[in-house]
Chain A
Amino acid sequence: MNEEIRREQYEKYLRTTHRLGRLAVVLTLAMLLGAPFVMGAYLGAMPDLAAFARGFMSIGVVYFVSCVAEYLIYVPMLGAGGTYLAFITGNLINMKIPCAVNARDMVGARSGTAENEIISTLSIATSSLVTIVVLALGVILLIPLQPLLQSPALQPAFDNVVPALFGAMACRYFRGNLRIAALPLLVMSLLFILVPSLTGSTSFMIIPSGAIAIGLAYLFYRRDRRTDGTEVSP
């Protein structure tokens, strides 16, 4: 197929993805913000807007800052379609981001390419559908499943889903990138040891940790290029 036609098709796909994504976001926001009022009408008790404003001032600001950081960090990993879907479906750090990064690396897609855009969207859509199905089944089977899922014997397993995930991901990504991974891991370990209260703000600590890793990656990239005198494949 002609390269020009392919590019046109991809650009058309991107344009409609943005249109569809924005429409999806508007509709989802309308439904999510409208739901408490519809439920309020049914329950005969509308949200207390004064209490809402007080609550938003005390906790909303924190989450606003967190959302800004997440948005800036994750969009480059997700691409356009992946971004709209991931922010609509949530659970980014504990599922969507590792899932998309894993899929991207598995098929060898390079960031900023059409392939990365497609793979990322497929990965996030699939993982979101799995979550929706698992939660729907879980809610339908809540009564019979509850004793099993909440049994004390299984609690350590379900309390450690994220460490299990990041341990596995660490092996895959640190391997071959030890010179980039060593310093952020050391700095983060020291910070969390010296200021234990930071464990409540781990998602914020991704920013300095990521900055150190990107800084080191850039230094090594520059050095490799100067040594080889050629473009270095990533």
Chain B
Amino acid sequence: MNILSRLNSPFIYLICAVIVVFVALLCVIFAVRAYRAGKAIGMDVTRMKRTIVASATFAVLPSVGILLGVIALSGSLGTPWPWLRLSVIGALHYETQVAEAAAEAVGVGGLSASQMTAEAFTTIALLMSVCIMWGMVFSLFTCRRYTDRLSRPAPKKKKDGKGLSLAGFGDRAMTAMFIGLVSAYLGSYVGTLVSGGGLFRFAGSFLPLAVALVGAAAMGLFIRLRERYDAAWIDSFSIAGSMLIAMTAAIFLGKLA
């Protein structure tokens, strides 16, 4: 039996399936508790339902992208382990890098079924688990204190007028942080186009930037429609719809690249 057949054996599937089912149950428990708590404190049920619908539609396309990560890794690590990793804790853009680096570190020279051994696989699997577990470890020890501190009311303005109250700045800070996050990624697409193929040679791929622009234009259209027809339901599908349009555009723009 070759290594991939062993890595795809029913027993390995069973181990991974147990963990995936456990995490799925956790999600259901957290969702049900949050929904009930929302109702108990008098939140509008319609808004909670809109959140569920919008999040579900939002998640479909990125999930298909993540599935491609499973397929990409399944050629060297079998299917069950990448399936587990990308369902639980893993991240699409980290997982392949970590697996590749781990394979080099354990001496199989890169991710390849022809060089994979059972010992290399278990070592790579352990490395992949340990390298990306720190967010969970931090949440175990500090989440309570950190979130308590964040929800504490901001100190008020002093009587002499000095020192500015930060009350009300929290939302702006969160929005600004997200703007910073998006700016970093958009900046990287500009950098890829301008200097990706050599400094200022404009020889890099234009595709990520073009796709982002199409996504932005599509979102602009959805916002316009929502405002014009006062149709709040459009919000639930606008991100997924914009992504679908941008990804479809990528297929056609890709032919020009």
Bound complex: CA of A198 vs CA of B90, how far in Å? 22
Contact A32 B178 (CB under 8 A): no
Residue of B nearest to A187 (CB): B187
B179 within 8 A of A: yes
State which of B84, B143, B207 has its C-beta within 8 Å of the C-beta of A75: B143
Contact A188 B188 (CB under 8 A): yes
Number of A-B contacts (CB under 8 A): 586
Contact A83 B143 (CB under 8 A): yes
The contact size tier of chain A is: 35 or more
Contact B71 A146 (CB under 8 A): yes
Q: Distance (Å) between the CB of B48 and the closest chain A CB?
A: 6
B225 within 8 A of A: no
Contact A165 B199 (CB under 8 A): no
**Bitwise interface map of A from 79 to 113 toward B, beta carbon under 8 Å scored 1, else 0:** 11101110111111111011101110011001110
Bound complex: CA of A213 vs CA of B182, how far in Å? 11
* B residues in contact with A195, CB < 8 Å: 191
B54 within 8 A of A: yes
Bound complex: CA of A37 vs CA of B101, how far in Å? 20
* A residues in contact with B48, CB < 8 Å: 118-119, 122
Known: A51-B123, A63-B132, A111-B174. A164 touches B246 (CB 8 A): yes
Bound complex: CA of A185 vs CA of B11, how far in Å? 49
**Secondary structure of the A contact surface, majority rule:** helix
A19-54 contacts to B, CB under 8 A, are 20-22, 24-29, 31-33, 35-40, 42-48, 51-52, 54
A150 within 8 A of B: yes
Contact B88 A90 (CB under 8 A): yes
* A residues in contact with B238, CB < 8 Å: 168, 172
* B residues in contact with A127, CB < 8 Å: 55-56, 58-59
Bound complex: CA of A198 vs CA of B246, how far in Å? 25
* A residues in contact with B111, CB < 8 Å: none
Contact A32 B19 (CB under 8 A): yes
Contact B22 A115 (CB under 8 A): no
* A residues in contact with B18, CB < 8 Å: 31
Bound complex: CA of A190 vs CA of B186, how far in Å? 11
Contact A122 B52 (CB under 8 A): yes
Contact B134 A130 (CB under 8 A): no
State which of A58, A114, A146, A209 has its C-beta within 8 Å of the C-beta of B187: A209
Other A-B contacts than A93-B91, A99-B58, 19 sampled, CB-CB below 8 A, are A32-B88, A45-B121, A45-B122, A55-B106, A55-B123, A83-B139, A85-B26, A90-B132, A111-B170, A119-B48, A165-B243, A171-B216, A184-B184, A196-B192, A196-B199, A199-B192, A209-B187, A214-B176, A231-B168
